[in-house]
């Protein structure tokens, strides 16, 4: 790739229409396709800590076609490209691609994955399953009258307590626990970590060793770094709640939401929302508790449920919240493995 000049980041390619270069990136998606004439090509999505960009490998780039199939999503790669535009959007034509190596000149993992704590890469998951718990952030007395009016009118219209509304909105609530693990691992071998946001006065010394106390901003930064490292992100109703909430809180904190887990509504990757696969479209309830019962999986809805999270947080019981959060992840993982083996493996868009 030596004849292509090195570009520091994907963001620097934006104004280089027609230029050639090399860049390090994370391979977010890679899909083998064929044109209407039967010619092979690949659709790629590349990302780094600055941005995300679409790319293609056409059949005239034989070296890239020969190597891309051995790469995995979430892997750091070095790409030789030619920049162009398609339907007024920047798109790269990839000439060569290979896995990046730590000894490569100019390779900087922080440039790809952001400024993350040193412990985080060891917790990276191929199939990242996660769940969040949220609570209201601040009291209604601290809000301007127009905001209070909007909040109370919304609560009345939806026939929901305004405290519950605040806990469900990223503009009025916050994340206090994010539990995650690798859904590919069986239950007895699956470590599940919970990032927790204790109150300033809480004693964290007695928290379980599978928790990590962080600020909400640190939680958000860690989540997007983990999502960037994953091949697939798995949730139950993540499109309906968890991901939009994390996007909203990231916007509030000025944290880049570096992986698109929303727009590909009917795709199975990068975000697999199991509710999209198993939901009954109004023909009956299909919440996590119901699906666990139907599949013979232990339900996480026991000593605590979502309505009890806010009072538990107010009384400093962050460990109990994390335990409940962790149980949701374990249940979602079990549903994923059954769905993977009995449904997804028979779909052409999963292979």
Is a pLDDT exceeding 60 seen at residue 2?
A: no
Could you tell me if 181 and 70 lie in one domain? Answer: no
Q: Which domain holds residue 249?
A: 121-137+172-346
Could you tell me if 325 and 176 lie in one domain? Answer: yes
Could you tell me if 289 and 185 lie in one domain? Answer: yes
Could you tell me if 313 and 181 lie in one domain? Answer: yes
Encode pLDDT of 126-149 as tens digits: 899 999 999 999 878 889 999 999
- Please give the average per-residue pLDDT across 324-333, as a whole number: 96
Number of domains comprising the chain: 2
Assess contact for 170 and 241: CB atoms under 8 A.
no
Q: Which two tokens stand for residue 107?
A: 């390779």
2 against 245, higher pLDDT: 245
Cα distance between residue 177 and residue 334, in whole Å:
20
Q: Which helix (H) or strand (E) holds 324?
A: helix 318-342
Could you tell me if 14 and 131 lie in one domain? Answer: no
* Residue 237 DSSP symbol: S
Give me the chain's average pLDDT, please.
Answer: 90
Sheet holding 127-136, edge to edge: 211-213, 193-196, 173-182, 127-136, 232-235, 271-273
Could you tell me if 279 and 184 lie in one domain? Answer: yes
Could you tell me if 103 and 182 lie in one domain? Answer: no
Assess contact for 182 and 125: CB atoms under 8 A.
yes
Could you tell me if 64 and 105 lie in one domain? Answer: yes
Q: What is the CATH number of the domain that holds 323?
A: 3.30.420.10
- Please give the average per-residue pLDDT across 150-168, as a whole number: 91
Is a pLDDT exceeding 90 seen at residue 171?
A: yes
Could you tell me if 79 and 195 lie in one domain? Answer: no
pLDDT at 3: 58
Encode pLDDT of 248-298 as tens digits: 999 999 998 988 999 888 889 889 999 999 998 878 899 999 999 999 999
- Note every long-range contact of 191-200, with CB atoms under 8 Å and residues 24 or more positions apart, other chains counting: 192/326, 192/329, 192/330, 193/123, 194/322, 194/325, 194/326, 195/219, 195/222, 195/223, 196/318, 196/319, 196/321, 196/322, 197/318, 198/316, 198/318, 199/313, 199/316, 199/318
Q: How confident is the model at residue 4 (pLDDT cuts 50, 70, 90)?
A: low
pLDDT at 15: 64
Could you tell me if 52 and 178 lie in one domain? Answer: no
Q: Which of 11-25, 31-45, 168-182, 304-318 has the highest mean pLDDT?
A: 168-182
Could you tell me if 201 and 328 lie in one domain? Answer: yes
Could you tell me if 235 and 101 lie in one domain? Answer: no
Encode pLDDT of 221-239 as tens digits: 999 999 988 889 999 999 9
């Amino acid at each position: 790739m030596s004849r292509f000049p090195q570009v520091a980041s994907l963001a620097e390619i934006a104004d280089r229409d027609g230029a050639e270069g090399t860049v390090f990136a994370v391979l977010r998606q890679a899909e083998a396709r064929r044109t209407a004439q039967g010619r092979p090509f690949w659709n790629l999505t590349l990302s780094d800590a600055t941005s995300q960009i679409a790319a293609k490998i056409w059949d005239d780039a034989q070296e890239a076609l020969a190597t891309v199939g051995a790469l995995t999503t979430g892997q750091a790669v070095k790409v030789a490209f030619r920049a162009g535009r398609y339907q007024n959007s920047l798109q790269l034509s990839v000439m060569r691609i290979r896995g990046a190596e730590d000894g490569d000149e100019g390779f900087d993992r922080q440039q790809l994955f952001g400024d993350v704590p040193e412990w985080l890469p060891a917790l990276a998951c191929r199939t990242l399953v996660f769940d969040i718990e949220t609570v209201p952030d601040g009291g209604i007395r601290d809000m301007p009258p127009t905001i209070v009016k909007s909040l109370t009118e919304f609560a009345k219209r939806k026939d929901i307590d305004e405290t519950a509304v605040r806990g469900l909105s990223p503009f009025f609530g916050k994340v206090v626990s994010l539990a995650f693990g690798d859904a590919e691992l069986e239950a007895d071998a699956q470590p599940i970590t919970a990032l927790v946001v204790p109150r300033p006065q809480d004693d964290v010394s007695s928290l379980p060793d599978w928790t990590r106390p962080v600020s909400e901003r640190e939680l958000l930064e860690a989540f997007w770094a983990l999502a960037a490292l994953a091949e697939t992100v798995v949730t139950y109703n993540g499109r309906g709640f968890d991901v939009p909430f994390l996007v909203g809180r990231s916007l509030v904190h000025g944290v880049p939401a570096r992986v698109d887990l929303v727009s590909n509504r009917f795709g199975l990757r990068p975000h697999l929302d199991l509710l999209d696969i198993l939901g009954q479209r109004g023909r009956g309830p299909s919440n996590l508790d119901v699906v666990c019962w139907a599949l013979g999986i232990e339900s996480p809805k026991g000593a605590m449920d979502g309505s009890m999270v806010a009072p538990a947080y107010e009384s400093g019981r962050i460990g109990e919240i994390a335990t409940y959060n962790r149980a949701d992840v374990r249940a979602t993982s079990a549903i994923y493995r059954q769905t993977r083996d009995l449904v997804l493996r028979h779909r052409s868009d999963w292979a």
